[in-house]
Amino acid sequence: MSDTVGARLSQVARNGTPGLLALILVLFSLAPFNFPGSAQLVPPLALMAVFHWGIYRPDLLPGPLAFILGLLQDVLSGGPLGMWAAVFLVVLVVTASQRRFFLGKMFVVEWLGFALVVPVVFLANWTIGSIYIGAIVDPGALLVQGLLAIAFYPGLSWLMSIVRRMVGRI
């Protein structure tokens, strides 16, 4: 009986890894750092996780969970409620629908896919943010975050791939 309980707990831990990792990335990307302008320099790390898991295991990062993670990012960042929730959900659905295209290809294809998603996401966020505050938001910080997101994606994707292998090819 303990083997069954242990096996179930192990399976729950494996299945929860993508969501837990995305949660950690939401919290890390919103953590206060001790240098001026740090909020503008931290890319949306959870967006990278949503994209990555949407390709490799969308069943382990279901839409409702991606939506909840986005709501958490919205609440903690003080931005428009539902903005990141909608973005995470749309990115997950689009990425999961294209996973057959990405699987088996060289990593550069995945990276290029992410690089195409980022400007669309940031344009949507810029538009929603401008409407939310009632003024045109300076796009400079968003541009920097977008470029950093594209630059950081290979490293974070590599780390998530290691995590996938460590927890037994989930």
Q: What is the DSSP letter of 34?
A: S
DSSP for 144-167, please give it.
HHHHHHHHHHHHHHHHHHHHHHHT
CATH number at residue 23: 1.10.1760
Residue 48 — very low, low, confident or very high, per pLDDT cuts 50/70/90? very high
Distance CA 103, CA 62 (A): 19
> Nearest CA to 113 among 62, 149, 163?
149
Asked if residue 9 has pLDDT above 80, the reply is: no
Distance CA 3, CA 148 (A): 45
> Nearest CA to 170 among 23, 53, 22?
53
DSSP for 45-79, please give it.
HHHHHHHHHHHH-GGGS-HHHHHHHHHHHHHHHT-
Q: What per-residue confidence (pLDDT) applies to 2?
A: 57
Q: Which domain holds residue 100?
A: 2-166
| Total domains, the chain | 1
Q: What per-residue confidence (pLDDT) applies to 132?
A: 92
Full-model pTM = 0.91
Q: How far apart are the first and last CA of the chain?
A: 24
Asked if residue 144 has pLDDT above 60, the reply is: yes
Tens digits of residue pLDDT in 82-112? 999 999 999 999 999 999 999 999 999 999 9
Q: Write out the H or E segment, with its range, that includes residue 19.
A: helix 2-30
For residue 150 the two structure tokens come to: 């594209």
Distance CA 136, CA 151 (A): 26
On whether the CB atoms of residues 14 and 57 are closer than 8 A, the answer is: no
Distance CA 145, CA 150 (A): 9
